Amino acid sequence: MSNLQTLHAPVAKPAEQTAATPPAPSVSSTQARRRVLSARRSPRRRGSRTGYILPGAVLALAVGWALLPGVFAPADPIAGDAAVAMSPPSAEHWFGTDATGRDVFSRVVHGAIHSLSGALLAVTVGLVVGSTLGIIAGSSGRIVDDVIMRIVDVLLAIPSLLLSLSVIILLGFGTLQAAVAVGVASIAAFARLARSEVVRVRRSDYVEAAFGSGATFAQVLRRHILPNSTTAVLALAALQFGTAILAISTLGFLGYGAPPPTPEWGLMVAEGRDYLATAWWLTTLPGLVVVAVVLSANRISALIGRNQ
Amino acid sequence: MHYLLSRLGQAATVLLVAFTAAFLLLQAMPADALMIRFESPELGLSPQQIADLRIAYGVDAPLHVQYWHSLSGVLRGDLGYSIESGTAVRTILADALPRTLTLAGLSLVVAVLVAFGIAFAAGLSRFAWLRSALRAAPSLFVSVPVFWLGIVLIQIFSFRLGWVPVINPGPVEGLILPVLTLAVPISAPLAQILVRSMDAVSLQPFVTVTRAKGASELWTQWHAVLRNAVLPTMTMAGVLFGELIAGAVVTETVFARAGIGRITEQAVRTQDIPVLQGVVLMAAAVFVAINLTVDLLYPRVDPRLRGKVAAAR
């Protein structure tokens, strides 16, 4: 209400100042409305199919790197040729070479398997443990629900990097440990989603009807709750996949992941840090690959969530 | 009052469970790390002295006695001793806190400015390409690894352009790049929720009325939309704090700055569990406190919620 009352006094000046192109306020208001509507609609219209193409291609390429690294990059990722050490990006070495003459592009390609399989393991840990906790919480009585959700509250109260570090300090360093640590940090998100989906679907009429016609909870879970929550869980899994790649590369950068000379993306950036002044390609290019993959995963997650 | 008490109780429960989990995990370790340190031959302690130390630290006491001892210690602010240096964890954290607070506080200010700039410009800009670029910026920011961003900023501003020295920088110069690095991941979720909430508010009838009364786009966005859209960002405070802590660990490592983040990184490297435990407990306590404050403040800030909360009580 106060908005409307104070509206008359100060509005004249800004309206004149900005009225250079739209002559009348009414025009600017319809423009604005159209703008709001188009902002809301246009991604949905476009996003149905075409939106998947670019991020999908990036992820497909990354998967290709992980599965068949030799096809995409024939150069050896571990053994280097000292004669070409520290050469900048060229037609021969797309991402340049490092201090021991190893081809950086080849290392990035061979590193894909570490990041992708680690992220896959992390999402699996989060998905399986989290969803199980969430489904138990959502389908049990109040006490079990309360106990599980308080544990989830604790997991949420600790910043995810600190949670991952707590797991790592217990399990030790390594690719596998880093992946599990990242997965533990995503349990809470999956648990909350699974619980809310169970509670949501459980309240619907057809589930009541299914119970009424004598179905057991396990049957209802399998036939109604799980199929109905697939999209939401998938969107979260895609989002967590991107987050996991980012988190695993962060742990690798801090030196808690795979040991050298493993071509892990975060570790590569950490190793290139000593040559910042002379060889920008050692840090910049592997990092750009991480950005592209994470951005694509996030984009696909957003599209799945929108089409829901 | 009842609402306040139940929220306080919930917050206390979360912290107690967090502490218990940390305590049990520590007990599950194969050998207590403190004793490994004292038993190393370098210190040259006799078996008698080691036995005395075991009694002094209470490692042989029954589990519930240790639990109670350790819990009452934490409640008094005693977080135990670092395995690595033997210093009290409380002292280590207190020494490191000011530098991290400076970094985090400045980054938060920059991040809030950036987020508001993005959201406001995205709502106001006349050009469709600029609007979509601004709307895409937060999701790009989320996808950028913080450690890489810091390195790229050093590369561009220190080595290419030579604007900011990285070797022996002054106190102010040394803060510029770390603050920028940390601000980016903080601004992203803030801008995302702000843009989303501005979209929602833009469709409200009172915004249409404001426009119908002849308000300019700038005035409408600033007075009618932004003011109402700011409220949901308050609920982000806890998440932002988590991002700040995680960002501080990486940023302080990249820029070799002393602080809580650096201590955390070193604690993990040397498997100094009491120190990490102290950091985690502190972070959890602050997170719970922030969320509690937001929950209690929200109805005060947004009059529409007062009735609902009262009804919920």
C-alpha of A152 from chain center: 20
Cβ-contact A234, A168 below 8 angstroms: no
Residues B243-291: tens digit of each pLDDT: 888 889 999 998 888 889 999 998 888 888 888 888 998 898 899 999 8
Higher pLDDT: B55 or A217? It is: A217
Decide: helix, strand or coil at residue A216: coil
Q: Which residue's structure tokens are 């995409």?
A: A72
Instruction: Label residue A183 by pLDDT band (50, 70, 90).
Output: very high
Cβ-contact B238, B193 below 8 angstroms: no
pLDDT for residue A217 is more than 50: yes
What gap in Å lies between CA B144 and CA B162, rounded to an integer? 24
Chain A from 125 to 154: CB within 8 A of any B CB: 150-151, 153-154
Which whole number is the average pLDDT over B182-200?
Answer: 87
Question: Which tokens is B260 given?
Answer: 């809580």
Minimum-distance CB partner of B151 among A39, A249, A283? A283
Question: Which tokens is A124 given?
Answer: 């699996």
pLDDT for B42: 64
What gap in Å lies between CA B277 and CA B72, rounded to an integer? 16
Cβ-contact A195, A149 below 8 angstroms: yes
Higher pLDDT: B156 or B43? It is: B156
Beta bridge partners of B88: B81
Lowest-confidence segment of A25-34, B107-116, B160-169, B197-206 by average pLDDT: A25-34
pLDDT for B57: 65
Which whole number is the average pLDDT over B282-302?
Answer: 85
pLDDT for B300: 77
Higher pLDDT: B27 or A197? It is: A197
Minimum-distance CB partner of A269 among B151, B213, B265? B151
What string of DSSP letters covers B203-260? TSHHHHHHHHTT--HHHIIIIIIIHHHSHHHHTTHHHHHHHHHHHHHHHHHHTT--SH
Cβ-contact A134, A193 below 8 angstroms: yes
Residues in chain B with CB shorter than 8 Å from the CB of A266 are: 145, 147
What gap in Å lies between CA B47 and CA B148, rounded to an integer? 50
Question: Which tokens is A36 given?
Answer: 């709001």
pTM of the prediction? 0.81
Cβ-contact B53, B46 below 8 angstroms: no
CB contact under 8 A, A291 and B283: no
Cβ-contact B252, B178 below 8 angstroms: yes
pLDDT for residue A130 is more than 90: yes
Minimum-distance CB partner of B246 among A40, A160, A273? A160
What gap in Å lies between CA B244 and CA B100, rounded to an integer? 10
Residues A70-80: tens digit of each pLDDT: 777 777 777 77
Classify the complex by whether its ipTM is higher than 0.90, answering yes or no.
no
**H-assigned helices in chain A:** 2-5, 8-18, 25-47, 53-67, 69-72, 104-139, 142-157, 160-171, 175-185, 187-202, 205-212, 217-220, 226-254, 265-272, 281-307
Looking at every residue in chain B, the average pLDDT score rounds to: 81
Which whole number is the average pLDDT over A142-170?
Answer: 89
Chain B from 62 to 91: CB within 8 A of any A CB: none
Q: Would you call A33 an interface residue with chain B, using a CB distance cutoff of 8 Å?
A: yes
pLDDT for B309: 54
Minimum-distance CB partner of B216 among A25, A165, A254? A25
Residues A104-119: tens digit of each pLDDT: 888 888 888 888 999 9
Cβ-contact B146, B181 below 8 angstroms: yes
pLDDT for B238: 82
Beta bridge partners of A103: A97
What gap in Å lies between CA B80 and CA B276, rounded to an integer? 11
pLDDT for residue B79 is more than 50: yes
What gap in Å lies between CA A266 and CA A258, rounded to an integer? 10
pLDDT for B35: 61
Decide: helix, strand or coil at residue B81: strand
Residue A81 burial (CB count, 10 A): 15
Give the amino acid at B298.
Answer: Y
Residues in chain B with CB shorter than 8 Å from the CB of A162 are: 245-246, 249, 264, 276, 279-280, 283
How big is chain B, counted in residues?
Answer: 313
Give the amino acid at A30.
Answer: T
Beta bridge partners of B81: B88
Q: Which residue's structure tokens are 């003011």?
A: B227
Cβ-contact B106, B179 below 8 angstroms: yes
Q: Which residue's structure tokens are 């031959």?
A: B41
- Picking from B59, B62, B66, the residue whose alpha carbon sits closest to that of residue B22 is B66
Residues A283-299: tens digit of each pLDDT: 888 889 999 999 998 88
pLDDT for residue A225 is more than 90: no
Question: Which tokens is A263 given?
Answer: 């071509």
Which whole number is the average pLDDT over B194-206?
Answer: 84
Best A160, A249, A253 member to test B by mutation, with max B CBs in 10 Å, is: A253
DSSP letter assigned to residue A97: B
Q: What are phi and psi of B88, to 5 degrees?
A: -65, 135
Q: Would you call B27 an interface residue with chain A, using a CB distance cutoff of 8 Å?
A: no
Residues in chain A with CB shorter than 8 Å from the CB of B29 are: 170
